[in-house]
Structures are given as C-alpha cells and as structure tokens.
Structure 1
Amino acid sequence: MPPKKTSTFEAPALTQSAIRKLVADSVTEALEAQAATMANADNTNRNTKEREAPVARKCSYKEFMSCQPINFKGSEGAVGLIRWFEQTESVFSHSNCTKECKVKFATGTLTEEALSW
C-alpha cells in the first residue's frame, strides 16, 4: 500500500466573527451593486407605482369538491379523524377556501354516523 500524501500547507483558521464579517461585506457589496444598477437603468417598462394587494377570491363548493376531499363516516376512530382533519386542511389550502366557507364545506364531507354529531 502506498504511503498517504501529507500536505504541509495549513489553511488559516477562520473564526465565527471573521466569517460573519465576510458574509456581511459580501451582502453589502452585492446590495450596493444592485442599487447602482437599478439607479442607472433607464427602463421605461419599469413599474414605479405601488402594487395593489391581490383580492382573495371566494372559492366555491364545486372547486372545493374538485380537490377530492375524503368523506368521514365517524367509525374510523381517532386515527381516521386526524387523517380527515389533515386532508381537509390540505384541501382548504389548495382551493383557497375562505374562513367563512370552511365549516360549511367540511360538513359536506361528513356521512353516516358523523352526520348526527
């Protein structure tokens, strides 16, 4: 077996504060360069007006159901109930369901024994 090569070069040890300073200097330099680029750019297509916040649209029951929420019968036990909660929350997220509609839409997935709760 050939002998292992050893290096006589040692990398200088960097302290946490030295690393933080290097990162901060790099970020500052990048931000200054970006600001200079934007200040020098004569872009007539650039929108300088403030953006309006998008208005959340109300999802419909049809959109909610198109995400295929699971039905809950009430006989699945605690694990089934938790799974139903998690999956229903996921469907709410995917369908952009508003707070006002969540209870109404979720109750539409209850069947059999769960209907009498």
Structure 2
Amino acid sequence: MSSVIRLLVLSCVAAGLMLGQVTTGTILGVVLDSSGSPVAGAQVTITEIEKNTSQTYTTDAAGAFNAPFLVPGTYTVSVEVKGFKKEVRSGITLQVDQKARIDFNLTVGQVTETVTVTA
C-alpha cells in the first residue's frame, strides 16, 4: 500500500513539473528616433512566417514593446509611425524560452518609404 502512495505522490509531482515547462518565447525591444529619443505610439507588427499570423503592439512612453507568449519559429517585425520611414526586420528565429531583443532606430521620412533589414 505504501508503494502505491509513493507512486501516486511521485506522479503528482512529475505532473506539476511538466505543467511548469515554458513552450513560448518573447520578442521585445525599444523604438528610438535618430536622436535617440523614444518613439511612443509606434505600431510594431510581429508576423510568424510559417503560419502568416500577425499581432500588433503599440510602444509605450519609453518607446518599448513586449510581445510575450509567441510560439517558436521565424518572425518578421515591422515598425510604423507617422513621420518616419517604416522599418522591417526579417528572419528573426525565436526559440523556446528565448527573449529576443530587437531595437529600432527610425529615420524621418515619408510614410511610403520602407527600410528592410534581413537577419
């Protein structure tokens, strides 16, 4: 009987440990202008390439964005804000439990201009 109880306790502990496993990653960063000042209100779009799914985030007063709970894969991150050139970073590979920091330095320009950087 005591071996059954031990097995039951061990099973419960193992199940709890498995639930605690992290299966996602995070893409975060800061958006700055050419003078190094934060750009608040920029739209940061993160696209998972294989599934072609996107999520859009808005930078805070410090120019920061944080995209948690992303499945591992390859991503493209783009930043758009009025008065600056759109900037795109592609080929960003995200692993399990990784925090990929992608910072942007935007340049003043027309809304129709795009700067693309491939990783």
State the TM-score, normalizing by the size of structure 1: 0.22
State the TM-score, normalizing by the size of structure 2: 0.22
Q: Which has the higher strand share?
A: 2
Q: Which has the higher helix share?
A: 1
| Larger Rg, first or second structure (1 or 2) | 1
